């Protein structure tokens, strides 16, 4: 396995991998990631296994939404490891790479994680890696959910964490 930046050839592999697990491929999003990395707005890390993209994640230098918008703190976003490659240390390797990159420029890194059970592995991993809830409460569709507000337990229901890197 090697960790590297996303390249256009990854789009086909990731599209096939997403489709195989019943997820909607996101080729236009991945193209934007490559463009934004070239513009210095994000870093996109890809885990390559046997010549193919097995997973990826991003470090967004200046998040545009959530509790850290405009804060000067980076956010780790869109973390995916394709199903056939899970439980092989790929997620940990991607997190090691993004945290090392963030630590070269920032004292703290942030991350949001979904609250439904599909994010259970990620929730546990972040806590084990030293991420702590930031205290801003639950966010839904990029807005802080008000106390008593009804929200859906879907991919848009998020809790944010931060980790001191240095």
pLDDT tens, per residue, the chain with 166 residues: 999 999 999 999 999 989 999 898 899 999 999 999 999 999 999 999 999 899 999 999 999 999 999 999 999 999 999 989 999 999 999 999 999 999 999 999 999 999 999 999 999 999 999 999 999 999 999 999 999 999 999 999 999 999 999 8
**Every domain of the chain and the residues it spans:** 2-164
Separation of alpha carbons 131 and 76, rounded Å: 12
CATH superfamily name and code, 2-164: Gcn5-related N-acetyltransferase (GNAT) (3.40.630.30)
Separation of alpha carbons 40 and 86, rounded Å: 29
């Amino acid at each position: 396995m090697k960790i590297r930046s996303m390249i256009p050839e990854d789009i086909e592999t990731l599209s096939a991998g997403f489709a195989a697990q019943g997820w909607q491929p996101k080729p236009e999003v991945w193209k934007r990631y490559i463009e934004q990395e070239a513009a210095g707005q994000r870093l996109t890390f890809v885990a390559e296994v046997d010549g193919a993209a097995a997973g990826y994640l991003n470090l967004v230098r200046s998040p545009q939404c959530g509790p850290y918008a405009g804060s000067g703190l980076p956010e780790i976003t869109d973390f995916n490891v394709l199903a056939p490659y899970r439980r092989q240390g790929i997620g940990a390797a991607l997190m090691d790479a993004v945290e090392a990159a963030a630590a070269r420029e920032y004292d703290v890194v942030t991350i949001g994680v979904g609250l439904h059970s599909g994010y259970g592995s990620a929730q546990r991993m972040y806590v084990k890696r030293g991420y702590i809830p930031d205290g801003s409460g639950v966010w839904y569709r990029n807005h802080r959910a008000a106390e008593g507000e009804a929200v859906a337990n879907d991919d848009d229901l998020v809790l944010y964490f931060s980790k001191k890197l240095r």
